Structure 1
Amino acid sequence: MELARTSATQGHQFGSCRYEPKASPPNLHKSVAISKGYNFASTWEQNAPLTEQQQEAIASLSHSVSERPYPNNLTQDHASVKENGGLTVSTRDISFGESQGIDAVLVNTNQFYKWFTDLESAMKSEAEEKYQHYVNNLTEHMETCDDILLQVDETLDFFNELQLQHQAVATKTKTLHDACDRLVVEKQRLIEFAEAVHSKLHYFDELENLNNNFYASNTNVGNEKFLPLLKRLDECISYVESNPQYAESSVYLLKFRQLQSRALGMIRTHVLSVLKNASSQVQHAIRSTGGSKTSISEGVEASVIYVRFKAASTELKPILEEIESRSSRKEYAQILADCHKLYCEQRLSLVKGIVHQRISEFAKKEALPSLTRSGCAYLMLVCQLEHQLFDHFFPSSSEDISSLAPLIDPLSTYLYDTLRPKLIHETNVDLLCELVDILKVEVLGEQLSRRSESLAGLRPTLQRILADVHERLTFRARTYIRDEIANYIPSNEDMDYPAKLEQSTEMKSETNSVDENPDVFKTWYPPVERTLSCLAKLYRCLEPSVFTGLAQEAVEVCSDSIQKASKLITKRSTAMDGQLFLIKHILILREQIAPFDIEFSVTYKELDFSHLLEHLRRILRGQASLFDWSRSTSLARTLSPRVLESQVDAKKDLEKSLKATCEEFIMSVTKLVVDPMLSFVTKVTAVKLALSSGSQNQKVDSVMAKPLKDQAFATPDKVAELVQKVNAAIQQELPVVMTKMKLYLQNPSTRTILFKPIKTNIVEAHVQIQSLVKAEYSPEEQSIINMTSIQNLQAELDSLL
């Protein structure tokens, strides 16, 4: 192709020879077949796109055939030009076909044009042949494509029809499938509904089955099928109760409950039968050991009464556990309570005789305190063993102490009935206090607290016994306070003061040892010692409210008794002995009741009818109506008493009595020592008042107008005499008083406190006299009077302590 183009170019250079291609064949693209083929090809290209790998292969193939190579026979071997200007072209190796070749020697232009024309014809012939062959092939392919397109059209038409039919079939199939799905869902729903209905009806259908089983002759509580039937019966009852809207549910519920009552009755009968059988076996075992129902050795008591009974009743444990597990329902709660009662009755029939016999033996051999200890200890042992056995059969009910009450209460009542007659006749307060300590501290406080769960059933009876002891102790304490304190009649020895104290002092000096402490209570007035002893015993034994009342009453009557004794001692000895006796014992009483952490005050309430008389008088006078209920003077208000409250504080009354007695003692000692000075000051005061009133009235007596030292009672000699009397009293009488104070009041601080106001009064009297002497008398007269200085006086008084 390149050679042809080159030759053509050269032809134009040498002449006007040109290559003109033949006219193209007619336009076949306008035919129907070509149009359909093109459309089909386009559709095919769209429906079946080439992959990237296929497109690369086509591109590579197109590049390979884009340039056609020279034919082998056209390969130019050589070209030479003669020296004379001629051109020789050898085309020996150039060929246009398999059998055609051109070999020419071009000498001149004509030969070249001829050769070129032949070459051009050959090239055209070869090119046209190839293209003609290609056109023919294309024509044949187009015809084939037309046929194929016609077939394709028919196929497409058939395919479209088939597709429509497929769509119709698919639509029908989907409709059928949806209908099948709906039917399957509806079927499943109906199946579930049927099963639900069947499951609900199953509870009602169970009535006949349960009825046949519970009324069968071979049905008993010991059968292994009984508990499952009972469980199924409970389920049916629960279901019918929770669905009262169902038809005839009330009828079925009634029938189910009848079956349940029969089943629970069978259980009760079975439990009673097994318990009686176990009791019979235990009684037979007791007889075989040589004992009786009320006489059995302690060694075999536990093994026979508890171990044998536990082994004989083991078969009850499964059915009792089932009942306990359903005790939330009232029917099973009732049957469980019945089983508890039956159990307690059978156990009581076995152990009551033994317990009664043991307590009776204790009562014959032991005193009241020992009987209380032994009886409580034995009952606690029995109660603990019974609680363990009860826990074996009723593990879920053992925490409820009321379950064992029908058994424990009768057993503990034996001890209560044994102790009560002895308590009623007991008069010894000390023994009653010991009983309180045993019950409150040892039994309830220590033993019962350590085993509170198993011994809780005994607590009510023990508290009842303790309450009886408290009541008896309170009564005996009141009787003791009344007889031994309030109504105490002192003997001559009790009133022998101060001799009684002097004897005690001598005995103390004879011992000559500070380690030995003689019995100080012997120097106390007996009601004081009895009051404090009684309160010390009752403080730990009685409730605070009860003790407060007794303590207030005891202190009050003891104070009254001390005051009565003080008056008797005053008559028998001296007033000072009576005062010191009262001070001594009030101080003892106050000091000893201080540790009691109570208030010695009691509020008394009483009814006051004193206003009734005045109301009745007004009614009789017509000033008020008897039937006027709306006014304050009505009959209801008239007959309503007034409640008067009065509070008595024995401790405060004691303080008042002590204060009054101390003041009385201080004044009596003061008068004993400085009474002349007090009389002298009183007279001087009277004279000065008379002088001052006389000077105002201008009526002054000549005697009263004299100076003080000229008065008959106030001469220097008289004043010196009274000073000497006072000094003598200080030196003679006051030491005696101090000796008595030491005899009655052993505490030095107490004596110091009591002597301090006495000393103050004595010093104050001397100060007043010295002031008068300095003001009214001359120095010579003062020397005659010769009063002791205040400093020396105070030193002398201090030495007495």
Structure 2
Amino acid sequence: MTTSIVPKSGAISRGYNFASTWEQNAPLTEQQQAAISALARSVAERPFPPGLSQEVSGKDGNNVTVSADDSAVESGAIDAVLVNTHQFYKWFSDLESAMKSETEEKYNLYVKTLVERVQICDGILNQVDKTLNLFDELQMLNQTVATKTKTLHDACDRLLLEKQRLIDFAEALRSKLNFFDELENISTNFYSSNMNIGSSEFLPLLKRLDDCISYVEGNPQYAESGVYLVKFRQLQSRALGMIRSHVFSVLKGASSQVQSAIRGSGSSKSAVSEGVEASIIYVRFKAAASELKPVLEEIESRSSRKEYFQILTECHRLYCEQRLSLIKGIVQHRVTEFAKKEVLPSLTRSGCAYLMQVCQLEHQLFDHFFPSSSKDVSSLAPLIDPVCTFLYDTLRPKLIHEASLDALCELVDILKVEVLGEQLSRRGESLARLRPTLQRILADIHERLTFCARTHVRDQISNYRPSEEDLDYPARLESSVETTSDSAVDNNSDMFKSWYPPLEKTVSCLSKLYHCLEPAVFTGLAQEAVEFCLISVQSASKIVAKRSSPMDGQLFLIKHLLILREQITPFDIEFSVTHKELDFSHLLEHLRRILRGQASLFDWSRSASLARTFSPRVLESQIDAKKELEKSLKATCEEFIMSVTKQVVDPMLSFVTKVTAVRVALSSGRQDQKVDSVLAKPLKNQAFATPEKVAELIQKVGVVIQQDLPTVMKKMKLYLQNPSTRMILFKPIKTNIVEAHSQLQSLIKSDYSEEEIKNIGMVSIQDLQAQLDDLL
């Protein structure tokens, strides 16, 4: 068998490597390997060719015949008869050689085919390698071209950006230079003979001028910006001067037209009827607003700038001057007419109503000229303040001469409640400028009211000189009771008739002033009035005590102090004030020491300086009129209770006191072994404590309880109409009376026999309490 050497090539090598890699990366499964093994076994058992027959005879193997059919002969098979083993082996060798030759031929042909194909693949691979090399060269050339193209594009983009930057810079430079270039254009237009406020070019040109000024002001770093700014401001001043002259001309013309209309109506300047006033002074004057409105609105829109704010303020002043020249005579005449016909309260009410009407109309007219500035009421001050001064100058002389507290309180009510509280608040900002004048008038009224109130307290309360009738107690109370029972007189007026006049004046004065004065002022007046009233009532009670009886004086004082306390309770204030005084007493002592040579005037070595040495000391003292009132009321009630108690049970109290003294003396005498025979006797054997004396004492007290105590209660009812007050005052009296009887009963039960007690006739405590309760 001839073995052919297969030429090695790159394709075979790559194929082998691929097969090896495939075997490693994709191994066969066990099932696949079993199938391959089965196929291998099947191929190994190769059958004889179809035309070959085989015979075997005998066990010795000597007779073997092998024949071939026709097809085998046609194919070149050996037709032979095999007789022995040697022939068979020879035949088999030849057959095996033929088969090998046939098989090698097939494989050689296959190898040849593979070699040819490998050569073809090698050629293709060489061609591919050449193609790949050419592609790499082409790719490198493409990369070179792309790089050059990108560089060109980037350069173009940079040029475009540079061009756009230069264009923007040129435009910015041109826009900035426009502000400077506008100087010549604006100057030419403003100094033109055809330029006026009514021109359609004036306002746009003024706006352009403002923009140029703002730009130059915001960029002081530019060359010659200061020079341009001065020139621009000169043009602006000229323009604003033209506006001022135009506004003044229009307002002056409107004023002249109104004055001509007033003269044409046949009315004097100071005596125009209300209908003519409204139609001429207000309606006709509104026509000027339409002519000035564009210019004034432009000025108001730029009022945040200093120059325009100044020209706007100047326009406000010109407007107020022209309006004041028209209405001041009319307002002054109208207020004067009110003053001639009406008293002070009605004059105040009418004058304020008229001023509110004028102020509201003026505010509405001002709103036509200056819609954006009308919210600032201070702009109308040059007009409204002089007009309001006419009313103030008219009212002030009358206020100075007004001395009636009722009239002054009515004026406070008119201004504080009606005008400031209701009308001004309801009409809003249009009347806000009237408020300072009205508050000034109200302050003058408060000042005058305070002065009159102090004068009233001094004259009518502190320095009151009572008449005989004023101190005729209890006759005044008795007559008051009779009047009340006989006629249907108003309770309040009848109640006031029974009061001591200073008390009535104090309560009346404080009631009027409570809502009319400031709390701090009212507190001082109230404290002063209550203090003087208390002193006056106390002085009057002493006179009543002398003229009638001490009990009348006490009840008089209790009655009026209770009324005063009740009447001042609703006032939500503190009736205490702090008085400050300067004390120079230490200064006198220091001067004496200097004159004696004990101290030097120029001795600065001491800790106290000269200024402190010669400075006065401030002494503060607090006075609470309400506490003084309570203190005086409490002392008077206690005095009355003790006086009534003493009047009723004084014999019992004296008896108990004597018995106590005897027992004390007896106990002390026994300790000293010196006992008087008189004191040593039993109590009932004492001269002042015999059963007859005790019975007489009890009878005397019983007579007082039955006869005198009802008189006291009747007098209490006369002075104190409130049953609760009488009960509060009588309760400690009753307690004292019962206590005195209880002490006496204890003494009697301890020192007297049953028969003696019965003869004494002591009243039981229960009966005594029932008897006292019946008195109420």
Bigger shift: 702-711 or 518-527? 702-711
Alignment check: 8 A CA contact 1:615 1:633 kept: no
Deviations 1:323-361 (A, max 9, x none): 111111122111111111111111111111111111111
- Where does residue 461 of structure 1 map in the other structure? 437
Q: How many angstroms does 1:775 deviate by?
A: 1.6
Residue pairs, 1:338-737, within 5 angstroms:
338-511=314-487, 519-621=494-596, 623-629=598-604, 631-737=606-712
Letter matched to residue 673 of structure 2: Q
Q: In the superposition, relative to structure 1, how do residues 224 and 581 fare at CA in structure 2: closer, same or farther (>3 Å)?
A: same
Letter matched to residue 601 of structure 2: L
Bigger shift: 182-191 or 464-473? 182-191
Deviations 1:744-770 (A, max 9, x none): 101111101101111111111111111
Q: How many angstroms does 1:165 deviate by?
A: 11
Q: In the superposition, relative to structure 1, how do residues 44 and 696 fare at CA in structure 2: closer, same or farther (>3 Å)?
A: closer
Q: How many angstroms does 1:517 deviate by?
A: 7.3
- Where does residue 233 of structure 2 map in the other structure? 257
Corresponding pairs, count: 677
Alignment check: 8 A CA contact 1:625 1:633 kept: no
Distance across 2 between alignment mates of 1:14 and 1:752: 172
- Where does residue 739 of structure 1 map in the other structure? 714
Q: In the superposition, relative to structure 1, how do residues 686 and 252 fare at CA in structure 2: closer, same or farther (>3 Å)?
A: same
Q: In the superposition, relative to structure 1, how do residues 173 and 634 fare at CA in structure 2: closer, same or farther (>3 Å)?
A: closer
- Where does residue 270 of structure 2 map in the other structure? 294
- The partner residue of 2:768 within 785, 788, 793 is 793
Alignment check: 8 A CA contact 2:484 2:494 kept: no
Bigger shift: 735-744 or 640-649? 640-649
Residue pairs, 1:279-290, within 5 angstroms:
279-290=255-266
Distance across 1 between alignment mates of 2:153 and 2:759: 155
Deviations 1:249-308 (A, max 9, x none): 222222222222222222111111111111111111222222222121101211211111
Alignment check: 8 A CA contact 1:278 1:313 kept: no
Q: How many angstroms does 1:233 deviate by?
A: 1.2
Distance across 2 between alignment mates of 1:12 and 1:238: 123
- Where does residue 234 of structure 1 map in the other structure? 210
Q: How many angstroms does 1:800 deviate by?
A: 0.6
Q: How many angstroms does 1:638 deviate by?
A: 1.3
Distance across 1 between alignment mates of 2:688 and 2:276: 105
Letter matched to residue 650 of structure 2: D
Distance across 2 between alignment mates of 1:316 and 1:771: 109
Alignment check: 8 A CA contact 2:289 2:368 kept: no
- Where does residue 40 of structure 2 map in the other structure? none
Q: How many angstroms does 1:164 deviate by?
A: 11
- Where does residue 186 of structure 1 map in the other structure? 162
- Where does residue 245 of structure 2 map in the other structure? 269
Q: How many angstroms does 1:509 deviate by?
A: 2.5
- Where does residue 31 of structure 1 map in the other structure? none
Q: In the superposition, relative to structure 1, how do residues 557 and 15 fare at CA in structure 2: closer, same or farther (>3 Å)?
A: same
- Where does residue 337 of structure 1 map in the other structure? 313
Alignment check: 8 A CA contact 1:624 1:633 kept: no
- Where does residue 222 of structure 1 map in the other structure? 198
Letter matched to residue 364 of structure 1: K
Distance across 2 between alignment mates of 1:711 and 1:171: 154
- Where does residue 756 of structure 2 map in the other structure? 781
Give the root-mean-square deviation of aligned CA atoms: 3.3
Q: How many angstroms does 1:414 deviate by?
A: 0.5
Q: How many angstroms does 1:644 deviate by?
A: 1.3
Letter matched to residue 575 of structure 1: P
Letter matched to residue 366 of structure 1: E
The unaligned stretches of length 5 or more in structure 1 are: 1-6, 28-33, 48-155
Distance across 2 between alignment mates of 1:789 and 1:696: 37
Scaled by the length of structure 1, the TM-score of the pair is: 0.79
Bigger shift: 774-783 or 354-363? 774-783
Distance across 1 between alignment mates of 2:161 and 2:262: 75
Distance across 1 between alignment mates of 2:493 and 2:215: 88
Q: In the superposition, relative to structure 1, how do residues 574 and 515 fare at CA in structure 2: closer, same or farther (>3 Å)?
A: closer
SS in 2 for 1:703: helix
Residue pairs, 1:65-214, within 5 angstroms:
178-214=154-190
Deviations 1:692-728 (A, max 9, x none): 2222223333333333222222222222222111111
SS in 1 for 2:578: strand
- Where does residue 315 of structure 1 map in the other structure? 291
Q: In the superposition, relative to structure 1, how do residues 402 and 39 fare at CA in structure 2: closer, same or farther (>3 Å)?
A: same
Q: In the superposition, relative to structure 1, how do residues 773 and 221 fare at CA in structure 2: closer, same or farther (>3 Å)?
A: same
Scaled by the length of structure 2, the TM-score of the pair is: 0.81
SS in 1 for 2:677: coil
Distance across 1 between alignment mates of 2:142 and 2:453: 119
Distance across 1 between alignment mates of 2:597 and 2:608: 11
Q: In the superposition, relative to structure 1, how do residues 564 and 173 fare at CA in structure 2: closer, same or farther (>3 Å)?
A: closer
Letter matched to residue 183 of structure 1: L
Bigger shift: 445-454 or 172-181? 172-181
The unaligned stretches of length 5 or more in structure 2 are: 1-69, 80-104, 113-118
Q: How many angstroms does 1:658 deviate by?
A: 0.6
Q: How many angstroms does 1:623 deviate by?
A: 4.9
Distance across 2 between alignment mates of 1:8 and 1:254: 135
Distance across 2 between alignment mates of 1:739 and 1:676: 23
